[in-house]
Amino acid sequence: NINRPFSFHMELTDKCNARCVQCERNFIDKDGVLKERPELWKTEITIGQFKSIFKNYQKQTSNLTFCGNFGDPLFAKDIFEITDYSYTNVLTPRGDIQINTNGGYKSKEWWSEYGRLLKDKDHMIVFGIDGLEDTHHLYRVNTRFDKVIENAKAFIDAGGWARWSFIRFGHNQHQEDEARQLAKKIGFASFETSNTQRFHKN
């Protein structure tokens, strides 16, 4: 029924700062070294392209989800402008945005500004934080736990809504309760867990 509001799930970029083990953007070579796939385009949807994509869907979308198989949405250079444009031109008056991110990119000042942009709008930023300081980086390679927490706190303190997404692994599952308490202390709106679907062959 094309008269009902649309819902779109978009991958804005295939760029990312992390090298998560067994993420589709990475591979383990014959020597056992974790590497980035050379065939990645390392590009993104620009604000101009985004406007063109949605030119026929003005005010007709109830939900936009920005989450990728290859990239982190925060690496799209126009993410701020895309977010702002989505609320003013694409979404219905009660429409919302969800963004999934590792949270380790950009400064705390940028995250504060982003929180202020979203403060009075329906949204949820899902931070992938898989453990605590001594375990998070074991899967989220190239990210720093303290940096992710700093960014999340800046976003929340500025009025943003955030969810802590915790993937259970053998190396971090004993920390779930402690992570849940930390999330509550920082001000995360919710805490979700899932069992990894990676490593199913081993």
- What is the helix (H) or strand (E) element at residue 108, kind and residue range? helix 108-118
- What is the helix (H) or strand (E) element at residue 156, kind and residue range? helix 145-157
3-state secondary structure (DSSP) of residue 182? helix
Q: Determine the pLDDT at residue 108.
A: 98
Q: Determine the pLDDT at residue 25.
A: 93
Span 99-107, mean pLDDT?
A: 97
pLDDT per residue as tens digits for the range 1-34? 777 899 999 999 999 999 998 799 999 899 989 9
pLDDT per residue as tens digits for the range 33-57? 999 999 999 999 999 999 999 998 8
C-alpha dist (Å) from residue 18 to 21, 177, 194:
9, 25, 20
The angle that helices 108-118 and 145-157 make with each other, rounded to 10 degrees, is 30
